[in-house]
Amino acid sequence: MRTRNERFISHLLARQHVASPSVLAATRTKTAENPPPEFTWREYAGFLLSVAAQIEHSLMVQYLYAAWSLGGMQVPAEQRNSVAAWRQTILGIAKEEMGHLATVLNLLRFLDAPIELDREDYPWDSGLAPYPFALERLTRATLAKYILAESPEQWPADVTSAERAEIEKLAAGSGTKHINRVGILYAELIDLFKDAARLPNSAFHPETYPTQSSWDEYARGYGKGARGSSVAGTKKTPDVLVMRASSRAEAVAALAAVAEQGEAPDEAAMKDDEVSHFRRFLKVFREFPEAGAWEATIAVPSNPAAPGMPSGAEQTLIQDDQAGLWANIFNIRYRMLLSFLAHSHAPIGPDGLVQRQGIIVNRMFGEMYNLRAIASVLTRLPLKPNGADRAGAPFQMPYTLQLPDDDASFWRLHLDLLKACRALLLNPKIASGDAAEYAATLLSLDETAVEEMSLYASASKVRTGVLRPTGAIA
């Protein structure tokens, strides 16, 4: 089944066989002289950026789930530092994918196009993503998929033909029907943004610059080049790239930087294990144990699903009562993260003032930490009552991604989500369960957030340092 958008991008990808008839890689076709039917060049650029945003979102989520699966008491004592280093490496890549997402959203704002927060949900294969979306614990096969997706067009000389064949064979054995290199999409975008004949200056909106996310907002105290880890075996890692654009040159530079951090096409950069996603995944792959040697991951399920809604054939329903409630809480907090991200990109209001406060970005980062903490709770709880297998973070998409059209409505959405989460946190199975102390802490933090947000939700206008309340919110 094809998605409604696939017909607009399939012309970009000329599929070629890799190591197995069941695995297809994509190479880029020649740039078209005219936009696809039904598009202008500006709309087409916005469409490609929307696809890029969906891909970055999907990769971020899948990398987080894989990283969170690493560890556990079954890891041999002598291997625990290595496993911790792999976890830190992949979490770092996931953070960088969020920076890529923020950068792509900035470029959508630069085109005055709607931001895109959607992504694939499992079980699903849109044909646009690098490979079918799936939440899976880390294995050599999943690492093989990640390597191929982030690979450059020309692989480095130190990857032998035998090693590349092994990577492609493992990806095929995981059931992957195709591999789309992410770099193909960015190459097309870079060519398009460079071309003033196709995208004239009138297509750009530098006045949106104040509403674009900045590196300073995402840096969280890190100096440039100083994001690293104290985990043994890890080094300093590249910055989280969050780039804004007020000109064509800045937009092209942002796209090039995102592409390079993924695949590192430069041969010199390829020799540095800490530069590109491709290189870092390859390093973990080379160190990761063969099947049957020893187990580096917790027994989390593939494609976990929270209870209360029908699950698909390829999903794994979380059946333990306590784990199921935490899975529902995780989904709410995930939706909160997306709503804060959307709010941080809210357009400039009719009075010409930016309707965004530091509280939004602070809350967004708070939800990142909450998701990590809840994922840790889930991996300690059983998938089924009294079972040995563990639960996992479901990352299920909300029922809608339609966004409010004014600032006060955004705040009311945040408050509704906090209210829904409170009802679950007060459930006796949570309040007296294995993570009762964390649940109580989360409730207390949420009460503070409600008090703070209610001021904004009840304001007719939000100005710097000025609130004009219009009455209490029921």
pLDDT tens per residue across span 65-74: 999 999 999 9
**Domain 299-474 in the same topology as domain 1-298:** yes
pLDDT digits (tens, 9 = 90+) for 172-220: 876 666 788 888 899 999 999 999 999 999 999 999 998 888 877 766 5
d(CA 240, CA 217): 11
The domain spans of the chain are: 1-298, 299-474
Residue 221 has pLDDT above 70, yes or no: no
The reported pLDDT for the residue numbered 359 is 76
Long-range contacts (CB closer than 8 Å, 24 or more residues apart) made by 353-358? 353/463, 353/464, 354/210, 354/211, 355/407, 355/462, 356/211, 357/456, 357/462
d(CA 468, CA 30): 56
Residue 273 has pLDDT above 50, yes or no: no
Residue 410 has pLDDT above 80, yes or no: yes
C-beta of residue 18 within 8 angstroms of C-beta of residue 80: no
The reported pLDDT for the residue numbered 226 is 46
Q: Which residues pair with 390 in a beta bridge?
A: 382
d(CA 27, CA 13): 6
Question: CATH for 299-474?
Answer: 1.20.1260.10
Across the range 120-136, mean pLDDT stands at 73
Contacts of 329 (CB under 8 A, 6+ apart): 374, 421, 424, 425, 430
- The pair phi, psi for residue 40, each rounded to 5°, is -95, 170
Residue 4 has pLDDT above 60, yes or no: no
- The pair phi, psi for residue 231, each rounded to 5°, is -70, 135
Q: In residues, how long is the chain? A: 474
224 or 296, which is more confident?
Answer: 296
C-beta of residue 376 within 8 angstroms of C-beta of residue 309: no
Across the range 122-130, mean pLDDT stands at 61
Mean pLDDT score of the chain, rounded to an integer? 83
Structure token pair of residue 443: 């409730």
pLDDT digits (tens, 9 = 90+) for 342-394: 888 876 555 444 455 567 878 888 898 999 999 999 999 999 998 889 999 99
> Cβ atoms within 10 A of the Cβ of 287, count?
14
What's the pTM? 0.87
Q: In the chain, pLDDT over 90 holds for what percent of residues?
A: 56
pLDDT digits (tens, 9 = 90+) for 25-67: 444 455 567 888 889 999 999 999 999 999 999 999 999 999 9
- The pair phi, psi for residue 305, each rounded to 5°, is -130, 135
222 or 308, which is more confident?
Answer: 308
Q: In the chain, pLDDT over 70 holds for what percent of residues?
A: 77
Task: Choose among 381, 363, 303: nearest CA to 135.
Answer: 303
> Cβ atoms within 10 A of the Cβ of 192, count?
20
d(CA 71, CA 296): 6
> Out of 240-244, 331-335, 371-375, which region has the weakest mean confidence (pLDDT)?
240-244
Structure token pair of residue 176: 């992957």
- 1-298 folds as Ferritin (1.20.1260)
Q: Is the dihedral of CA 237, 242, 247, 248 positive or negative?
A: positive
Q: Which residues pair with 178 in a beta bridge?
A: 24
Residue 122 has pLDDT above 80, yes or no: no
End-to-end CA distance of the chain: 45
Query: β-pairing, 459-463 with 466-469?
Result: antiparallel
**Reading across the β-sheet that carries 24-28, which strands appear in turn?**
13-17, 24-28, 178-179
Q: pLDDT category, 339, cuts 50, 70, 90? A: very high
Structure token pair of residue 216: 């300073």
Across the range 227-245, mean pLDDT stands at 65
C-beta of residue 177 within 8 angstroms of C-beta of residue 24: yes
C-beta of residue 92 within 8 angstroms of C-beta of residue 147: no
